Amino acid sequence: MAKVFDSITDDLQRFIQAQQMFFVATAPLAADGHVNLSPKGLNSFRILSPNQVAYLDVTGSGNETSAHLQENGRITFMFCAFQEPPSILRLYGKGQTVLPDAPEWTELYALFSPIPGTRQIIVAAIDRVQTSCGMGVPLYEPAGQRESLVKWADKKGKEGLQAYQQQKNTVSIDGLPTALAGKDKG
């Protein structure tokens, strides 16, 4: 049975911290726009307060989350227990993209272990916290975090990553600008 909370409780915080992955969902306002759902890992999620969270976002093939947050701010995080006991936790809120040149970057970035390829930090104010049973989620044993993305970013180097971001991460698949759209190309 689902339970709704106004904020992240201590028990829910422990649940979040025990998970090795989470999912981020956003959507544009347009009814024919594409909903985005992305799995995340690499120990990149932090609870800033009972109603504020953040994650370190690394360079990828797209940047839908940033585009949707620029347009409307809506964001949902989901955590699933892949081991016993079953549980699902969703955090609903309004998010924003924080880029490396933002005044709050240094303070936020210090909360994370550095990950090569980091492009932005997503920060969200949480206004609804909801649990559900999770009994339909299969059991899985974690085998560890993938190193592929980190190795790819290391190989690209700073200039290569900036060029890639300008080519692939400034506009969503629906044509919406991301937070990176206004950055210099060099």
pTM of the model: 0.94
Average pLDDT over residues 152-176: 95
- Mean pLDDT, the chain, rounded, equals 95
Q: What are the beta bridge partners of residue 124?
A: 53, 95
Q: What is the rounded distance in angstroms from the CA atom of residue 16 to the CA atom of residue 46?
A: 9
Residue 186: pLDDT above 90? no
pLDDT, position 1? 74
Residue 82: burial class (beta carbons within 10 Å; 0-12, 13-18, 19+):
middle
Q: Helical H runs in the chain?
A: 10-18, 64-71, 105-109, 148-168
Average pLDDT over residues 157-164: 95
Could you give the domains of the chain? 3-137+145-180 (2.30.110.10)
pLDDT, position 185? 46
